[in-house]
Chain A
């Protein structure tokens, strides 16, 4: 019991800018999920179509009642039918997450806007406006008990030829 005090103290220091215990855990879970999203899902799924400097899409992550996870990609430029992701990627995404990471998103659809930026050795036409536009999910989410729009993620790639 005594040993837990320093731990609690350190946590309090770390989170002293936050007022509620609830916020602490969701903040950590968010951070953990974001890094796993980038490493296990976004990295393996560049946007389809021709390579442009800025290109966006949305990751849709649904966490069901048994904490099972389904993921798909919504590319607003093509159609409103999401492109599904191979379950193998989803499994490795889940592998590094704890139950606590997912439990706050139970029954929730997470929408994660992603902006891919390509730095190329070729001179590229800048399509900033088009890129930002493609990152916004232009569909209607209907009758979901919970839809959470997460902070957008920006990923950079370098292409050298």
Chain B
């Protein structure tokens, strides 16, 4: 472990693009997974509740070594920061997701930021600071072999 840390330090010290990019590499990408996250998790949950305000947050998906999934949704609520999704929504998502080949995400934590806008664009732009801090919440990952943020989903809901 010490040796690995030492190597990191060296790589970052020299800061040459090549050694650095060994630690920061291109993302894996599965369009179908993204589609599932949007349709099954982001939209299905919020459409039921018919939001009156803009909703922003992140979906966190951890893929285990044996490609099992765990899902959490980070959305700022008055009571807590983590919202519990109904188990049937998670189950339906997981069933469809494990049918995909997720091996590029083995041992990865995936973060899908999302915004569902209800308000007018002018109103939305005024609260930009709040929006960005809520779609990308503070997170500390320790000893994870892979963390990957995905392109945010930005949708408009018709009230």
Contacts and interface: CB of A to CB of B under 8 A. Distances in A.
Interface of A: 60, 62, 64-65, 68, 70, 72, 74, 80-82, 84, 107-108, 113, 115, 117, 126, 128-129, 132-133, 135-152, 154
Contact of A154 (B22, B28, B128, B149): B128
B120 to A, nearest CB: 12
Interface stretch (B36-44, B65-73, B81-89, B140-148): B140-148
A145 B9 contact: no
Nearest to A129: B154
Interface stretch (B45-53, B91-99, B131-139): B131-139
A45 B21 CA distance: 21
A82 B23 CA distance: 11
Contacts of B138: 148-151
Interface of B: 4-5, 8-9, 12-13, 15, 17, 20-28, 108, 113, 115, 121, 124-125, 128-129, 131-133, 135-152, 154
B128 A82 contact: no
A113 B146 contact: no
Contact of A146 (B21, B121, B129, B140): B140
15 contacts: A64-B12, A128-B124, A132-B115, A132-B132, A136-B136, A140-B146, A140-B148, A141-B141, A144-B23, A145-B143, A146-B141, A147-B140, A147-B144, A150-B138, A154-B129
Given A82-B24, A147-B141, A141 B147 contact: yes
